[in-house]
Structure 1
Amino acid sequence: MCTIHHTVKGTASAPVQLPLIHIVGDIAKKAGSGLGPRTIPDYELLYFPDASRSIYRIGDQAYTLDEPSFVLTRPGESHTYEYDIQQPARHLFIHFGLPDTHQALELLPMLRPGEASVIPVDDQLLVGMMKQILYISYAYPTRLQERGSAMLLTLLTELNGQLYDDPVRAQIKRLPSQIVKALDYIDEHIEEPIAVEMLANRSGWSHEHFSRSFMQYLGRTPRETIIQRRIERACQLLLYEEWSIKEVAYHVGFADENYFSRLFKTVKGMTATEYRRRYNNPVYRNLVPVKETETLYPANRILFNVHVQ
C-alpha cells in the first residue's frame, strides 16, 4: 500500500495513505443522453471541460454544468446525469477508494457527505494533473498506483483548497481579458500619460462599461487603479534603485514630485523616504520590477523560508 509520511520539526504525524485508483476513463456521451439514477460503491471525480446545459442531479439538488467543472460523487449518493441536447458531453473520470477513510475525511473535508458536489474550476494546472493521471493509466498501467495515486491526492488537496482555504476568492471570477490587457498596458507604460478613455477604447468596451467592470472586479475605478499601480511600482523602485525621490516619481509617470509625494503618503500612510528607510534591505538590490498580472502571488520576494539549524 502506498503511503506518504508528513513530518514537521518537533512533531511526527501518521503516514498519509494514498487513494487507490479503480477506474479511469475519458468519454463523450451523445447529446440528449443520460446516466442514472445510480449509486456507486466508491468515490468518483469527474471533469467536464466544456460549458454546456448538461445537468447533474444529486438528491434534491440540480447543477447545470454551464462552465468547466469538477464533479465529485461519494459512495452511496444517488445521482443522475442529463446531458445537453445540443452537444456531446465529454468528461474525464477517476473512480477511487480510500484505504483510511477517517484520515482522508480529516485531511479533505470535501470528501464528507453533504459537502460541495460541483466545483467550477478551469485551472489548467489542475486539469493537467487529471489528464496526466489518465495518460499514466494508458501508457504505464502497472505504474498507475505508484505515480497516479500521489498525483490524485495532490489534485484532491488542491480542489479542497479551492473550497476551504480561501472561500471568498474561490467565488471570484477570473478577470476578463479586457481588464487584464488594460492592467498589462498600465504596467508596460507606467512612465507615460495614460488616459482612461484610451484604455476603454483599446478594450473595445464603452467608457461606462469599462469603468463599471473595474469597480466590479477590482473594487476601484480605472483612475484609482492607475494611481495604485504607479505607487506600487514606486515602492519597488525605492527598494531596488538608489534614485532620488524625484527620479522615482518621474519613472512612474509623475512630473510633479510634490504631487507624487502627497499621493504616496495618502496611499501608503507614510512618505516615500520613510518607506525606503523602513523596508530597505540589501537583498532587494539588483532586482527589477515585473508585471503584477503574471502571477497569483507577489513577485520579487521570498514567499516561504524554513530556517534549518
Structure 2
Amino acid sequence: MIQRKFQHTFTLLNVDRVQLDARWNYQHVISPYYRIYYIHDGDGSLSGAGGTVTLEPGFLYIIPSFTLCNMRCDSHLDQYFVQFFEDSTDGISLFAQQRSILKVAATEMDGLLFNRLLEINPGRGINRSDNPKVYEKDVYYREYQELNNLQNIAVSMETQGILWQLTARFLSQHATDGQEATPIPGKLAETLDYIALHLHAELTVNFLASRVNLHPDYFSRQFKAFTGTRPLNHIHEKRIERAQYLMATTRLSYAEISAQLGFGDISHFSKAFRKSTGMAPRDYRKQLYLVGFHHHPKNISE
C-alpha cells in the first residue's frame, strides 16, 4: 500500500469577510505568507509579473508567499480572505516554481469552507478593516500564534484541513506530478533542513557537500536537479525569505536581522534585499504596515 506523507503545514493568520472600496489600492505588495480570496460580489484586480487578473464573483484566487503583486478595487468588493504561513519539511514551497497569481472557478463547497473557517476561528480579521487609519491597535504575529496555540485539537485539525483543501484547488496535476514522481534523495533533504536551520552560518558548497560525503560538483548537479536552482542561489533565496518573515513577525532591527542571517553588515543586507525584492528593507516594512499586517516601521530602529 502506498503511503503519502504531507510535507506542508499551514499556520493561520487572518480570516474574514470584508466589504472593500476604492481605498483598497496597494502597490508592490510582497509578503512571506499566502493569501486566498473568494469573491462574493463586486470587482477588482490583482496584477503582477504575469499580468493582470480580474477579481470576479464566483472565483477563488491565491497569491503564494513571496509573490509580488498589486491590489485594486475601483468601487466595491465583497471578499472572503484567508492569510496563512506555509511550513515545508524539505524547505521547498508548494509554489516554488510558480510564484504567480492563480485563479480557479469556485464551487459551492469553497463557500462552505470559508464560512466554516470563520465559524471555528472567530475574531481573526484585521480589525474588521482594510484601512490602516482605522486600526485600533497594531497587529503582531505572536498574537495569532497565541490564538493558534489556544485552539483545541479538533479546531486545529479542522483549520489545517480546510487550508489544505483550499490550497489544493490551485495545484494542477501538471504542477505536482513532477515533484511526486522523483522524491528528493535523503542526503539533499537533510541538507535543505540543515540550511534552513543554519542561515546565520557561513555556508559553502564544499562544506555542504562534505557533510553528506558527496563530491562538490556532483552535489551541485544533484541539488539543481531536484530543487531547480544551485546551492548558493537557494541559500541566498532562503536568507531573503527569512528576512521578510522576520520583518513581518518580529520587531528586530535591520542590524539584528542582518546578523542573524549571516550578511555581515547592514549595507550588504540592504543591497541583497533590494536586488531580490526590488525594494529597500525600510520600504518593505512600510508596505507590511500599509496592507495591515504589521506595526508602523517608524518604531523599528535601523
Do the structures match in fold with TM over 0.5? no
User: Larger Cα Rg: Structure 1 or Structure 2?
Assistant: 1
